[in-house]
Amino acid sequence: METLSQLKCVACRADAPPATDDDLAEWLPQLPDWHIVQRDGVRNLERIFKWKNFAQALAFTNRVGELAEAEGHHPDILTRWGAVTVWWSTHKIKNLHRNDFIMAAKTDEAYVSMSGSLDRAAAGR
C-alpha cells in the first residue's frame, strides 16, 4: 500500500466526492497528530507544529507554501512565535478530500525533515 505522502493531488471539481467515513478510517491512522475540526461549518484537518522561535516557524510556513504550490492545493496557515497551525480542507467542495490527507502527510514529512536539520545545525554551532 502506498503511503499518503507518496501520492499526488488530483484536480478537484466542485462536484468531487468528499472523504467518506471509510476513507477517514483508512487515512487518519497515517496522520496521528492531525485532528478533524469544524471551521466556519467546514471540516478541516488541523495540526499545530511547534518550533523554537519565529524564524523557524516562518521557514516552515514557507516550506509548506512551496509544497502547496507544487501540488496546486493550498492550506490555511497561522504563523506565530514558536508555532505554526496548518488547516487542510478543499475549498471547492467545502469539505475534506483525499488531497487534504495527502498534503497533511507531506506537511508532516517536511516538519520531520526541517526539525531534524535545524536541530543538527544548532548542535554544530
Share of the chain above pLDDT 90, in %: 79
Q: Is residue 63 part of a domain?
A: yes
Residues present in the chain in total = 125
Q: Is residue 29 part of a domain?
A: yes
Q: Is residue 11 part of a domain?
A: no
Tens digits of residue pLDDT in 52-102: 999 999 999 999 999 999 999 999 999 999 999 999 999 999 999 999 999
Whole-angstrom CA distances from 22 to 18, 25, 26, 74, 90 are: 11, 5, 6, 24, 18
Which pLDDT value is given to residue 71?
A: 94
Per the listing, cell 507518496 goes with 6
Element housing 65 (H / E): helix 54-71
Which pLDDT value is given to residue 9?
A: 87
Which pLDDT value is given to residue 1?
A: 53
Q: Is residue 2 part of a domain?
A: no
Q: Is residue 5 part of a domain?
A: no
User: Residue 6 — pLDDT band, cuts 50, 70, 90?
Assistant: confident
CATH assignment at residue 45 = 3.30.1360.20
User: Residue 13 — pLDDT band, cuts 50, 70, 90?
Assistant: confident
Q: Is residue 7 part of a domain?
A: no
Q: Is residue 14 part of a domain?
A: no
Residue 124 has pLDDT above 60, yes or no: no
Tens digits of residue pLDDT in 28-60: 999 999 999 999 999 999 999 999 999 999 999
> What's the predicted TM-score (pTM) here?
0.90
SS3 2: coil
Domain that holds residue 113: 19-123
Q: How many structural domains comprise the chain?
A: 1
Q: Is residue 10 part of a domain?
A: no
User: Residue 125 — pLDDT band, cuts 50, 70, 90?
Assistant: very low
